[in-house]
Chains A and B, each alone.
Chain A
Amino acid sequence: MKALCLYFQIHQPLRLKRYRFFDIGNDHYYYDDYTNESIMRKIADECYLPANKIILELLKKYKGKFKISYSITGIALDQLEQYAPEVIDTFKELAKTGDVEFLAETYSHSLASLIHKEEFIYQVTVHSDRIEALFGVRPTVFRNTEMIYSDEIGEMVSKMGYQGILTEGAKHILGWKSPNYLYCNAINPKLKILMRNYKLSDDISFRFSSRGWKEWPLTTTKLVGWLNEMDDKEDLVNIFMDYETFGEHQKKESGIFEFLTYLPQEVILKSKYKFATPSELTSEFHPIAQAHVPNVISWADEERDLSAWLGNKLQDEAFRKLYALRDDVIAVNDERINEDWKFLQASDHFYYMCTKFASDGDVHSYFNPYSSPYDAFINYMNVLSDFQIRLNEIKDSLTVDPKELQNQILQKDELIAKYERELDEFKHC
C-alpha cells in the first residue's frame, strides 16, 4: 500500500524592536514584545487552535488510520509558552493519541548547519531534549531549517543518530527522478531522505484560494483523484508545508479548514494510500537510490537555494559577524547572553535583508517588520554591536589573575597530598 505523509512546520520569528545607535551600550533588550505577542496571539487564534481542534477530532475518529507530523522550532515554543500557552496543551493532547510524530529541528530555526558544526549539533540536541520533555517521545527524524540539505549536512545528521531527514523535492534538484520514493544519503546510506512533493504541497499552501488557478477550487475529491492517478510503482507522497497554511496563508473563508476536515475520510475511503509518519516511512520502505546533493538546497523561492538568507553583501557580513562571536559566547556562558545568542541566530533576520524581490517578493514581505533590507541590516547590526559589548564586558570580568590561579592549584595539590596520606594510613590499618 502506498503512503501519504503529512508534515507541518511551525515557526514564528522573534522580531527585533527598532534599535538605534543611541541605544547601543544602554539598552540590552532587543525584542518587539508588542508585535511578537499580537502576531503570535493572532496566529494562535486563527490557525493553531482551530486547526489543532480539527486534527484532534480526526485522530480520534480515525484512530490509527490518520497520522500526522509536526516540527516546532524552539523559538516558536518559547513564544507560545509566553503568549499562547494553551496551544502547547493542545499539541500535548495530540501527542497523547500516539498518531502524531514530532520531528527534530534546530532550536533557533538557524542556519548553523552551514557554518558551525558544533553549534548545529548543540542546537539540534537542545531542541530534541525539549520536544522529548514536552511530548514524551524523542524525535528520530530531522528537519533542517527551511529544508536546507546537502550530502554533508545529511552525513552530520546521520552521525547524530537520526534515521531520516526531510528536504525539498523540486524538479530542478531531482532531475528525472521522482520525489515519490524514499532515498538515502550519498555518504551514509543509513540516513533516509524524504522528498517533498512540491506540486501537491504548493497546490494546497500557495494556490488553494487563488481564483486565477485553473484547478480552483481545490476539493478533497480532486486531490485524491490526483493521488490515485500517480504511477503505480511510486511508493509514497510527501506533503510538507507551513502549518500557518490553515487560517493564515489561506484564510478561513477560503474553506481551507473544511478541506482539512474532509481530507482523511476521502483518502482512507477512496484511495490506495494510507497515512504514515516520517519515521514509519524510513522503517517500512526501502530506499530506491542514493540522492546526490553536493550543493546546498532549500525549499525557498523559485531557485530552491540559499539566496533568500545568504549571498548578498549585507547578509554575508551579518552572518560572518554573528558567528565570529561564538567562541566568546561559549567561554562566557552567561544565562542572558545565551538567551540572546539563541534568538539572534534565527534565519529570519537574514531573510529580512534579502534584496532579490523579483518573483518572490510577496512571500518575503509577509510579516516583514522592516521597510527595506537596508533597514533590517542597520537594525540587526546595532543590536549585534550591543550584544558584542556585553559579551566583551563579561569576558573582561572573567579574566583571572594568573597568580591567584597558581595559589588555587597549590592549595588543591596540598589537599590531594593530604588525602593520599590518609588513604595510605587506612590501607596500613
Chain B
Amino acid sequence: MKVLMFGWEFPPHISGGLGTACYGLTRGLAKIDDLDIIFVVPKAYGDEDQTKMSLVGANSVTIQQVQSHVEKFKSQHTYLEVDSHLVPYNDPDEYYTFSSQDLYGKNKFIKVDKEGKLEFSGKYGTNLIEEIYKYAYVASTIASAHEHDVIHAHDWLCYPAGIAAKEVSGKPLVIHVHATDFDRSGGNVNPKVYEIEKKGMDAADKIIAVSNLTRNIVIEKYGQDPNKVVTVYNAVEPVSLEEKLKIKKGVKEKVVTFLGRITMQKGPEYFVEAAYQVLKRTNNVRFVMAGNGDMLEQMVDRVAQLGISDKFHFTGFLKGDDVFKMFLLSDVYVMPSVSEPFGISPLEAMQSNVPVIISKQSGVSEILTHAVKVDYWDIEAMADAIYGIIKYNALSEVFKEDGKEEVDNLKWANAAINVHDVYVSAIKLFKPLTKN
C-alpha cells in the first residue's frame, strides 16, 4: 500500500503538536509491512529524518505552465484572504514579527523561482491562506507524479491539498483532524477556516479524529456521518532517559510548570490564578510558564499585579532540548486547556516522571488514568491538586510510577495499526469521485 501524506510541518522544524504527531505516526506506520509513505510538506529543509519514508518538499517540485493553471485553480477554489489576527497558528518564536509583516507583502502573484518551483515559507504566517492554496496546487502535480493508493491529509491546512490530489489521482482521501477551529478560537469560529474544514471533511472518504471530544465536534458542528469518523488516539515516542539526567536543578523549591502556547485555548490565566492560591499556602514552590503567545504580556501583568513575580517565572518559547530540560526540572505539569483536541505534552511530561494535572476538556483525558483531571475553570481544584502533589510525597510517587508505566504503553505502533485499518476500509468503501 502506498500512502500520499500531506502535512504542514515536520521535525525538526515544528511549531506545535501537529509536527510531532505526524512524525510519531509515520514512524509507527513504518513498522507495518508493505506500507510506503510519501510525505509532503510545504518546505523541506533537508535535515529532516527521512529514514522511515521519503519526504517531498513542495518547494522542490517543478511546476510547468504556472500562470494559466493558477487562474484556473483560483476559479475552482475561492481565493481567500484572512485578517492576520485570525490566523490560527503563528510560529511562537516569531510571533511578534509575523503579526506585523507579511512575508511577501501584498503580492497577489504566486512566486516562482528560476526553475519554475513555487516558493514556500513553510511557516504559519499572515499569508497562510495563499500558502494553503499554493500548496494545494502543487499537491495536484505531486499526486500525478507519485503513484499511491490512498491520500492522507493532516489538519485543515492540508485539506485543500488532499482534495486537489484526490481530483487528480482519483484515490480515496482520509483526513486527520488534529484540531478544529472551534478549539482554536474558543467558539468564535472564523467562517473562512470553517469553510475549508467543512469542504475537507465533506470530500473525505474517512475522517480520523484524535479524540472522542474532537469526533463529537466533527459530527455535530460539521454535520458528518458518525460512521465516517473514527477516533485514533495519539501516542508518544519513547525517549532515552540517560542523556537527560545531566541537568542541575538550581532551585530548591518544587517546580510547577505550564508549557505551551500562551493563548486563550491553553487556559494560561487559570494556571496563574491557581499559582496565586497555592502560594498563599506554601512558600516552597515556584511556578514556570514556558512558551510564547498573544496572552504572554497579559499574564506577566497579572503576575505582577498579584505580587508573586519572585515565585512565578517566564521562559519564553522553548526549543528542542530545553523542553526536556524543563520537564526534568518540574515536579508537576499542568495543562489547563480550555479546549484541547488531544494534547501530547502531558504524555511527554509523564515520560519524564512528572505527575500531570490536565483539564477535563482535553482529548488526552479520555485515555489517561494516572493523571489528575480538573475542569479548566476550577481554579480551586487545580490549586488543591498542585498543593497535594508537591506536599505529599506518597501521592507524587504514585503518579510518577503508575503514570510512567501507563504512558510507556501508549505506542505509536498501536495508533498506526488503527490508522492502517482506516486506510483499508477507505479503499474498500471508495467510490470514485464524480465530477459535476
Contact = CB atoms under 8 A, between A and B. Distances in A.
Interface of A: 20-27, 313-314, 316-318, 320-321, 371-372, 374, 377-378, 381-382, 384-386, 388-389
B313 interface: yes
B309 interface: yes
B295 to A, nearest CB: 11
A261 to B, nearest CB: 45
Interface in B233-257: 247-252
Contacts of B250: 22-27, 386, 389
**Mostly helix, strand, loop or mixed at chain A's interface?**
helix
Nearest to A26: B250
Nearest to A22: B325
Contact of B313 (A24, A313, A321, A388): A24
Contacts of B286: 385
B425 interface: no
A377 B309 contact: yes
B296 A388 contact: no
A24 B251 contact: yes
Contacts of B313: 21, 24, 378, 381-382, 385
16 contacts: A20-B315, A22-B315, A23-B250, A24-B250, A25-B249, A25-B250, A313-B304, A314-B300, A314-B301, A317-B304, A320-B307, A371-B96, A374-B297, A378-B300, A381-B313, A384-B310
B314 interface: yes
B251 A389 contact: yes
Interface of B: 96, 247-252, 286, 288, 290, 296-297, 300-301, 304-305, 307, 309-311, 313-316, 322, 325, 329
Given A381-B309, A384-B310, 15 more contacts: A21-B314, A21-B315, A22-B322, A22-B325, A25-B250, A313-B301, A313-B304, A318-B304, A321-B307, A374-B297, A374-B300, A377-B300, A377-B304, A382-B313, A389-B251
Given A24-B250, A24-B251, A318 B297 contact: no
B305 A22 contact: no
8 closest residue pairs by CB, A with B? A25-B250, A26-B250, A317-B304, A313-B304, A21-B313, A378-B314, A25-B251, A374-B300
Which interface residue of B296, B305, B311, B313 has the most chain A CB atoms within 10 A? B313
A128 B102 CA distance: 55
Nearest to B257: A21
Contacts of A389: 250-252
A317 B305 contact: yes
Contacts of A386: 250
A329 to B, nearest CB: 15
Nearest to B313: A21
A20 B305 CA distance: 21
A314 B290 CA distance: 19
Contacts of B329: 22
A121 B96 CA distance: 44
B432 to A, nearest CB: 55
Contacts of A22: 247, 250, 315, 322, 325, 329
A385 B296 contact: no
A21 B288 contact: yes
A123 B30 CA distance: 69
B297 A313 contact: no
Which interface residue of A320, A381, A389 has the most chain B CB atoms within 10 A? A381
Contacts, number: 68
A317 B315 contact: no
A267 B410 CA distance: 85
Contacts of B311: 385
A343 B311 CA distance: 21
Contacts of B252: 25, 389
Given A21-B315, A372-B297, A377-B304, A388 B251 contact: no
Nearest to A325: B310
B33 to A, nearest CB: 44
A319 B248 CA distance: 30
A320 to B, nearest CB: 7
Given A374-B297, A378-B314, A385-B313, A314 B248 contact: no
Nearest to B248: A26
Contacts of A20: 315-316
B309 A317 contact: yes
Contacts of A26: 248, 250
A25 B305 CA distance: 25
A156 B309 CA distance: 32
A313 B305 contact: yes
Contacts of B315: 20-22
Given A21-B288, A374-B297, A317 B307 contact: yes
Which interface residue of A21, A377, A382 has the most chain B CB atoms within 10 A? A21
Contacts of A381: 309-310, 313
Nearest to B306: A317
Nearest to A371: B96
Contacts of B248: 26
B330 to A, nearest CB: 11
A385 B297 contact: no
A318 B251 contact: no
Contacts of A378: 300, 313-314, 316
Contacts of A371: 96
A381 B287 CA distance: 13
Nearest to B315: A21
B165 to A, nearest CB: 42
B49 to A, nearest CB: 27
B315 to A, nearest CB: 5
Nearest to B247: A22
Contacts of B297: 372, 374
A318 B307 CA distance: 9
Nearest to A320: B307
A128 B1 CA distance: 84
Nearest to A375: B316
Which interface residue of A25, A318, A320 has the most chain B CB atoms within 10 A? A25
Contacts of A321: 307, 309-310
A371 B95 CA distance: 13
A22 B288 CA distance: 10
Which interface residue of A22, A24, A26, A313 has the most chain B CB atoms within 10 A? A22
Contacts of A384: 310
Given A313-B305, A314-B304, A316-B304, A385 B288 contact: no
Contacts of A313: 301, 304-305
Nearest to A28: B250
A201 B250 CA distance: 49
Contacts of B300: 314, 374, 377-378
A317 B329 CA distance: 26
A385 B313 CA distance: 9
Contacts of A320: 307
B272 to A, nearest CB: 13
B297 to A, nearest CB: 5
Which interface residue of B248, B286, B297, B310 has the most chain A CB atoms within 10 A? B310
Which interface residue of B290, B297, B304, B313 has the most chain A CB atoms within 10 A? B304
A187 B315 CA distance: 48
A310 to B, nearest CB: 12
Contacts of A25: 249-252
B75 to A, nearest CB: 44
Nearest to A315: B304
Which interface residue of B96, B250, B251, B286 has the most chain A CB atoms within 10 A? B250
A317 B300 CA distance: 11
A21 B251 CA distance: 10
